[in-house]
Structure 1
């Protein structure tokens, strides 16, 4: 299965992405709610008495009524609408951040699984070579050619390589489980395809772009600030509301007409503009203080997120320079080991010649040692390559270049 398919499935299956999508829907609903305050609401009610009414009940009895209400004028409401708009943008930024994080997690696990599988292939070969070496040392020890310590050393290599294989198998199982959880596929159904992994772009020294996580924190802070302004203005600015009301009065099961000079009319209609002027409301003032504290906290959290991202960029940039060198060293050691192995194999094939000054004949023991060493250098190179790839991916995310990686996957 290609890396592109794994990332796509992980983004669709991710609980974090789905939760972020729910937050986007909620933010849009909040925005709609704040804007719909100016749209008239219509309510119709009805009710009949269960028992006959006796005496004057305080309000004319009605068989059904209808009311229409809407906000006409409110300065704080504009702040609430703007705050909701920033909330929608913040939710969208969090969704983008969640998708990028899932892409990073899936890519890292997939690339590591590919490296672990390659190491396992090498370790299986090393097990064969070390077992052959142990057999050779057993024979040489029994023949009195080598000391017993040489045989024990060979057996120690067998045990160490076995332990390495068990460690890699356990790590591969963990990675397969992680990918299964990310994608929702059955465990063990994902096999890494090395050809589907594109080269990770290098972004050394580039300025950070718009970071989704940091941007989301900043937008939340702006939304909270506008919310706090609206809550503060509620205590100082009047509010105008339009209303209409219709009552269909009834004389069923009541004697209400006894209390009026003329009979109660069946149809009753009223309308007007209600003006609410704030004079003293300690509850609203307390809520405004609470909103101001939330806004301050959100602003501080946004600053903290930006600083942490800057620190991560500095740390990853320094690590990548070091990992680049380590990968280069591991690659050179691998090439040297391969050349030494070729030399040993050539000497085994051609012998040492019969001329004067020729080197002693290379033994099968030297061949197995060269094979084991070449395998170890190959594992070291794979480890260094994965660590470098992991650091580059994390730097891409910290710099806001994760879209570049996703485009590379789509184009692969």
Structure 2
């Protein structure tokens, strides 16, 4: 009866102490979140179309690249998701974190081991009160027993460690989503870069052909004695210059194609992107509310989970100042003869540690626990600052994307006018040159202006496509129950 009361009292005491957790209560730090994006206020109708944010990290990102209506891009994204090595490495890191979480969670349960074997020993004569030369042969003791060990969760030390490991695993999951989203965006931007270079290559092919025709015209006029050799030399220079610039574009395209192959997890020698000049990309991407970034962005989610893990580790460091209770026991059989080992009379048990004590209380450690607690608190403050910086960076990236798309749209309209004017000027200069009313320098300047303005227009198309990808990435990826509608060109 006395033993039962002792066990009951000990159990109740353990429950009370387990409830005295010393881990600080975790609260997400406040951040300054604006009511609306500065750029989004210029398009309130688009903002209203955005779906209100939902808690978020478990939600599928969706195939956001489908809004571009590009079948080649769709195939590239599928290949990258299945073969990219960085994504596989991120998945492996996530698996490691989840395995570590299960490892730490195992401390909630007792450990049970079984063993069998002999012990050969000889105690000293002095320890047994025998004469120095008394007969004292060694003895053999056979044991077959099961040992049990369990650490009571006093002051929440074990729970805090589990909370920290759980937050670490959740952080790794968010980082995996971040790597996945970054890969999707990188593939899209590499694809649009190649298509932009294809458009430049097509432009230079037309320019080379036009300058070849001009060179033939100048050659005929020179042969007829109507012009000097100076005009002929200038025509040849412009023709060679266009060929050189065309080869430079080809070189840049080859490098971009090789980079895309690596993103797809393929060697560059086995990948070739079919030429497809880029058309103008016009998307209206609603930005929604700034608060949605705190739920949608995987990098912000990772930073928040890092804070939670650091807060839990403050609890682990605090619990080190309090006693630890470890319950142990061994149950089994022991005998000096192996034949008698499993006899009922050979049974034995031990309650309590074989070495040390059940309850241990730290007294002096030279300031080690104080240093570890200070380190844990400083790590938490660091993660708080990182979280707030991640939020600020996210706001900046969205504002950059929104302003970039708006200004690029306006710039494209102005650039179209510049291209039309340059083409008209070039047409007039060629007519006047044929009639002898203008010099060849006027033709050269007009042709150069056309090429320059068309290259600028192609570059703007590429920048708009890549800016759209960057904005979608800044917003945390795809969205549900909302679509990006084509905007008027």
TM-score by length of 2: 0.67
Map of 2:117 onto structure 1: 47
Change (3 A) 1:248 1:197: farther
Q: Note the C-alpha offset of 1:181.
A: 0.5
Contact 1:60 1:249 (8 Å CA) reproduced: no
Most deviating of 98-107 and 177-186: 177-186
Q: Deviations over 1:65-107 (max 9, x none)?
A: 3211223333122222222222222111111111110011100
Any stretches of 5+ residues in structure 2 without a counterpart? 1-70, 128-138, 339-344, 485-489
Q: How many angstroms apart in 2 are the aligned matches of 1:64 and 1:369?
A: 99
Q: Is 2:477 the partner of 1:391?
A: no
- Deviation at residue 316 of structure 1 after TM alignment: 3.9
- Corresponding residue number in structure 1 for 2:44: none
Whether contact under 8 Å (1:129, 1:371) holds in the other structure is no
> Does the Cα contact within 8 Å between 1:133 and 1:368 map onto a contact in 2?
no
CA distance in 2, matches of 1:293, 1:14: 37
Worse-matched range after superposition: 386-395 or 239-248: 239-248
Which shifted more, 319-328 or 367-376?
367-376
Trace 1:26-105 onto structure 2 (pairs within 5 A).
26-48=96-118, 53-55=121-123, 61-74=141-154, 75-105=156-186
Q: Aligned with 2:331: secondary structure?
A: strand
User: 1:315-349 CA distances to partner (integer Å, 9 max, x unpaired)?
Assistant: 4444434322322222233344566788899x89x
Distance 1:9 1:131 in 2: 42
How far off its partner does 1:204 sit? 5.9
| Structure 1 match to 2:94 | 24
User: Does the Cα contact within 8 Å between 2:142 and 2:337 map onto a contact in 1?
Assistant: no
Q: Which residue of 1 aligns with 2:319?
A: 233
Aligned residue number for residue 301 of structure 2: 215
Q: Does 1:298 align with 2:383?
A: yes
CA contact (8 A) 1:133 1:369 kept: no
Mapped to 1, the partners of 2:192 and 2:437 lie a distance apart of 39
Corresponding pairs, count: 382
Give 3-state SS (helix, strand or coil) of 2:478's partner: helix
Residue 368 of structure 2, aligned match among 283, 290, 293: 283
Unaligned runs of 5+ in 1: 254-264, 349-358
TM-score by length of 1: 0.78
Q: Give yes or no for contact 1:198–1:408 (8 Å, CA) kept in 2.
A: no
What corresponds to 1:403 in structure 2?
478
Mapped to 2, the partners of 1:196 and 1:93 lie a distance apart of 35
Distance in 2 (CA, whole Å) between partners of 1:206 and 1:373 is 43
